[in-house]
Chain A
Amino acid sequence: MMARRVVVLGVLLALVAVIVPDAGRQRFDASLMKVEGVTGLDTDPGVVWILALGSDARPGQSVLHSRADTIQLVGFNPNTGHATVVGIPRDSYVDIPGYGRDKINASMVYGGPQLTARAVAGMMGIAPDYVFTTSFWGFSRMVWTMGGVRVWSRHSFAEPLAKIRRGWNQVDGVEALVFVRQRKQLPGGDFDRSYNQGRFLIDGLRQALSVARNSGGLERILYTFMKQTDVDIGPVELYRLARAVLEIQPSKVEHCVIRGRTGYAGGASVVYPDLSQAHNIARRAGRDGRLEGRC
C-alpha cells in the first residue's frame, strides 16, 4: 500500500520510451525545473503550463541532453479544475531558437529542456511555466511505485514484453513503457503514439490524485518525488504547485494531438505540424484550461 502512495505526482508528468537501464552517470532519472525567460502568447495567468518530456537517454548518456521522444504540454486552471493535454509529435519540424529548423526532439540535445520549452513556446504560442523531464528508467520506476496504472488503449498490439488490448489495461512499469513507446503497430504512427502518451498521462493522473488527496498523501508523495528528481525549484514553490495540480478534475481533462503532414527534410522523415491548430488550441486553453471538446 505504501508503494502506491509514492512518487505518483511524477507520473502525472512523466512519459517515456523503451526499457533501458539507468543512465549511469546521471544522479537523477528525472528533473523538474522552472522555465526562465521563455516567451510566447500572453495567456490568462490563471492557467499553469507544464511541459512533460521523456528523454530517450541510453546508459551513459545525459538524460537532460538526449532527444525528447515524448513531448506533452499540460495546461490546467486550478480555479476550475479544467486541464488540457496537448501531444506534440516528436518529429515535428519546427524552429529551434538559435539552431534553425529541425525536429523538435533534437532541441533537447542542443540546449536541454529549457531549449525544448522555448521551441514548444514558438510552435504553440504558449510558454510553459515548468518543464519536467524523466528517463526511461525514471518513468518505469514511477509506474512501479504506483503499483501500476490502469490505462485505456484505442488499439491492440503485442510486443514481447507486453500485450495491450483495446480498452482498459492494467500495466506495470515495463508494460507502461511499451505502451507509450509503441508506434509501428499503430495505424496513425507517431500521432497515435503521442495520443497514447497523453492518454497515459490522464489515466495516471486520475490514479495519482486519488492517492494524493488522502490525508497526508501529498506530503509523502512530494517527499519521495524530491528524492528521485532533480528539482530546481524551491520546496515551497513545489508544494504550492502540487497543491494546484490536485485541483485538476480528471473528468475535466481534454486531450489533443497536434496534427500535421509527413514529409522529408534533409533526407529525414519529419512532421510538418499544423501550426494554426497549435495556436488555436493554445489560445483557447490559455483562457481557462479548457477546449470545450474541439481539437
Chain B
Amino acid sequence: MSSTPVATERAFDTSGRPAMLGRVDDMRRRLLAPALALALLVGGCSGDEADDEAAEPPGQAGAPTLRQHPADLDVRIARVAGHLPKATARDVSQRLGRVVATWFDGAFLTGDYPREHFAGYASFTRDAARLARRSAGITSNVRLGPRWVEVVPTRRVVRLHVFAPGHRASGATASVELVMVGIGSAGDASELAVTGDLYLTKTDAGWRIFGFDLNRSVGEPGDFAGRSGRRDRKGDRSDRQPPKRPGQHERGSR
C-alpha cells in the first residue's frame, strides 16, 4: 500500500464577482486486491460482446475487457430550499442531471481508451472550466486514461440540494458519486471513485457548473462500488463517501 500527497486547490473567477470556486482533493490509493475484483473482470478477448461499453478499442485486439453492466445515472432531488411545483422539480432534476452527466461522460466515461486527452467541461462556466483543466488530474481521467483500455461506470449518483426562492430554481449543490472500473492492457483492473460537490447556477446558456469540491480515490475493483452498491434513497452523504483508510491519503492546501 502506498499513498500519494494530495493536491488541493481553491480558486475563483476574480472578474469582480465570485463566479466559481474549486477545491480538489485527490486521494490516490493502492489497495490490496480483494477477491471480488475478479468477479468484475473477464480476461481475454471480448469478441462478440454486444455491449458498446465492452467494445474492443481500436488497436487493442486481444486486450482484456469488462463484462460489468454500466450503472444507470441516478439523479434525485434531496431537498428544495423554497418551493418548486412537481413538474418544475422534475424538469430541474433532469436538466441538472444532464449537466452533471455531460461532465461524467466527457471527462471519464466516453471516448476511446487508452488516451491522454480528455475534455468534458462543456457544462462548466468558462472560468470554472479553466480551473478544472488546471486540476485535470482530479476532474478528468487523464492520469489513468493512458493505461486503461476500457472503463465502465459502476455507480453514477447525483443528489441535488436546490435553492429555489420565488418558485424558481436559482442555484444548486450537486453531491456526486462516480465510480468506475477500468482495465489495463495487461489485464490489471482498478477502480476510480470521484466524489464531492458541484455548484451550479443558471446562466444565459442554461445551467452551468461554476464551482467544485471533489475527491478522487483509486483502489481495487470493489473498494468503492461494492460498498456503495446500496442505492442512497435519502441523499445521505454519509453513505456516498469512499471508505477511508487511515494513513492511505493525505490532504493539503495551498
For the complex, is A81 an interface residue (Cβ under 8 Å from B)? yes
Q: Report whether B171 and A239 are in contact in the complex, using a CB–CB cutoff of 8 Å.
A: yes
How many angstroms between the C-alpha atoms of A244 and B19 in the bound complex?
8
For the complex, is A78 an interface residue (Cβ under 8 Å from B)? yes
CB under 8 Å from chain A, chain B span 218-246: 235, 237
| Contact segment of A44-52, A84-92, A118-126, A134-142 | A44-52
CB under 8 Å from chain B, chain A span 199-227: 215-216, 218-220, 222-223, 226-227
Residues of A within 8 A of B14 (CB): 44-46, 79
For the complex, is B82 an interface residue (Cβ under 8 Å from A)? yes
For the complex, is A129 an interface residue (Cβ under 8 Å from B)? yes
Residues of B within 8 A of A237 (CB): 17
Residues of A within 8 A of B211 (CB): 243
Q: Report whether B163 and A46 are in contact in the complex, using a CB–CB cutoff of 8 Å.
A: no
How many angstroms between the C-alpha atoms of A219 and B21 in the bound complex?
17
A239 with B19: in contact, given A81-B10, A216-B79 (CB under 8 Å)? no
Q: Report whether A215 and B163 are in contact in the complex, using a CB–CB cutoff of 8 Å.
A: no
Residues of B within 8 A of A243 (CB): 18, 21, 171, 199, 210-211
For the complex, is B59 an interface residue (Cβ under 8 Å from A)? no
Q: Report whether A235 and B12 are in contact in the complex, using a CB–CB cutoff of 8 Å.
A: no
Q: Report whether B173 and A247 are in contact in the complex, using a CB–CB cutoff of 8 Å.
A: no
Q: Report whether B10 and A240 are in contact in the complex, using a CB–CB cutoff of 8 Å.
A: no
Mask of B175-208 contacts with A, CB within 8 angstroms, 1/0: 1000000000000000000000001011100000
How many angstroms between the C-alpha atoms of A48 and B16 in the bound complex?
7
For the complex, is B11 an interface residue (Cβ under 8 Å from A)? yes
Closest Cβ of chain B to A286, distance in Å, is 12
Q: Report whether A79 and B10 are in contact in the complex, using a CB–CB cutoff of 8 Å.
A: yes
A247 with B165: in contact, given A79-B11, A223-B82, A236-B202 (CB under 8 Å)? no
How many angstroms between the C-alpha atoms of A220 and B17 in the bound complex?
22
Residues of B within 8 A of A129 (CB): 16-17
Q: Please give the number of chain B residues whose Cβ is less than 8 angstroms from any Cβ of chain A in the complex.
A: 34
For the complex, is A80 an interface residue (Cβ under 8 Å from B)? yes
By beta carbon, the residue of chain A nearest B163 is A219
Q: Report whether A235 and B165 are in contact in the complex, using a CB–CB cutoff of 8 Å.
A: yes
For the complex, is B249 an interface residue (Cβ under 8 Å from A)? no
By beta carbon, the residue of chain B nearest A227 is B165
Residues of B within 8 A of A220 (CB): 79, 81
Q: Report whether A45 and B175 are in contact in the complex, using a CB–CB cutoff of 8 Å.
A: no
Closest Cβ of chain A to B254, distance in Å, is 9
Q: Report whether A219 and B161 are in contact in the complex, using a CB–CB cutoff of 8 Å.
A: yes
Q: Report whether A48 and B201 are in contact in the complex, using a CB–CB cutoff of 8 Å.
A: no
Q: Report whether B172 and A241 are in contact in the complex, using a CB–CB cutoff of 8 Å.
A: no
A240 with B172: in contact, given A79-B14, A222-B81 (CB under 8 Å)? no
Residues of A within 8 A of B16 (CB): 45, 129
By beta carbon, the residue of chain B nearest A215 is B237
Mask of B1-37 contacts with A, CB within 8 angstroms, 1/0: 0000000001110111111010000000000000000
Name 20 interchain pairs, CB-CB below 8 A, sorted by A: A45-B14, A46-B14, A78-B18, A81-B10, A215-B161, A215-B173, A215-B175, A216-B81, A218-B163, A218-B173, A220-B79, A223-B164, A235-B168, A235-B170, A240-B171, A243-B18, A243-B211, A244-B12, A247-B10, A247-B12
B residues with a Cβ closer than 8 A to A are 10-12, 14-19, 21, 78-79, 81-82, 161-166, 168, 170-173, 175, 199, 201-203, 210-211, 235, 237
The 10 closest A-B pairs by CB, nearest first: A244-B18, A239-B171, A46-B14, A235-B170, A216-B161, A219-B81, A223-B81, A78-B12, A219-B163, A45-B16
